Amino acid sequence: MKWTTLVQVGELAAALGDPTLRIIDARFALMDPAAGRQAYLQSHLPGAAHADLDLDLSNLARTGEGRHPLPEAAAFAHRVGGWGIGPRQQVVVYDAGDGSMAAARLWWMLGLLGHARVAVLDGGLVAWRDGGQPETGDLPDQPMLPPYLADFDTSRIVSADEVEARLGEAPGWLLDARAAARFRGEAEPIDAVAGHVPGAVNRPIGDNLAYGRFRAPQQLRAQIEPLLAGRSPREVVVMCGSGVTACHLLLALELAGLCGARVYAGSWSGWISDPSRPVARGE
């Protein structure tokens, strides 16, 4: 098993029981933060542990860095070991459906530690159930491991200061994964200010999908590459509302062969924490 982006239901089902496989359920609902854990306790993939976006993949005590600030690397590395993940394990992450809440976030964070063998289950729990695959309410009996011996690769994390410094660049370097109405500032159900970072280009995560699963790599590339306006993907930054669904867009870029983009972790909610930063509305 050397899955690094997506894994399909049949592939994962065939690997169940492999001692090097670790499965993580990352289901989360923004409007009901306890719902993901509750759903996990009722039923989940065999052997799966649970990762909570608020408790495990964020540090909500940090201010000015958006709604889901990254945790300290040491705290996350300890949690990773607690899930039984070491450098040799193949990790598969899933959520309720398309991977945006919050499987892709965990995929990215494990990558920040240098763990390459991690993939998102394409279609998530919906696809698993559609395939008639097994579930259980039993908690996993995986041995805990020491904290993962790695630090975050901070070169892959973009700060608000870097975004501000690039505001004068022509569009194509900053992609915003939020829904179009939120990007344009017509609706904002979550954050205090509506709009987008000036110069950003909208690429809603729904455009990456067809029937709840990622589009084919060649189709993704044909749609996304023109948005970059000739830039190398390594010059590109992705963002969203709080640095979570941006990871879904990053995964789409990787699938398309447009590798090397980085995530603005604070994203829109972090940007607007400083009222002096400019806001744009409309297209």
> So what's the pLDDT on residue 42?
98
Distance CA 14, CA 128 (A): 12
> So what's the pLDDT on residue 239?
99
Query: What residues of the chain score a pLDDT lower than 70?
Result: none
pLDDT tens readout for residues 220-231:
999 999 999 999
Query: Which sequence spans correspond to the domains of the chain?
Result: 6-152, 155-271
Neighbours of 71 (CB within 10 A): 21
pTM summary value:
0.98
Distance CA 77, CA 82 (A): 9
Distance CA 119, CA 131 (A): 19
> So what's the pLDDT on residue 40?
98
Backbone angles phi and psi of 119, in degrees to 5: -140, 155
pLDDT tens readout for residues 51-97:
999 999 999 999 999 999 999 999 999 999 999 999 999 999 999 99
Do the beta carbons of residue 214 and residue 168 sit within 8 Å?
no
Distance CA 139, CA 235 (A): 43
DSSP codes of every residue in 113-127: TT---EEEETTHHHH
- Catalytic residue numbers read 240
CATH number of 155-271: 3.40.250.10
Give, in order, the Cα–Cα distances in Å from 114 to each of 13, 55, 77, 110, 191.
26, 21, 11, 7, 32
> So what's the pLDDT on residue 173?
98
Do the beta carbons of residue 160 and residue 271 sit within 8 Å?
yes
| C-alpha dihedral (223, 228, 234, 238), degrees to nearest 10 | -80
> So what's the pLDDT on residue 145?
97
DSSP codes of every residue in 15-81: HTT-TTEEEEE----TT-TTHHHHHHHH-BSTT-EE--TTTTS--TT--SS-SSPPPPHHHHHHHHH
Q: By C-alpha distance, which of 162, 180, 173 is closest to 237?
A: 173
Fold equal for 6-152 and 155-271: yes
> So what's the pLDDT on residue 190?
96
Q: Which CATH architecture has domain 6-152?
A: 3-Layer(aba) Sandwich (3.40)
Strand arrangement, sheet containing 157-158: 157-158, 262-264, 237-239, 174-176, 201-202
pLDDT tens readout for residues 228-247:
999 999 999 999 999 999 99
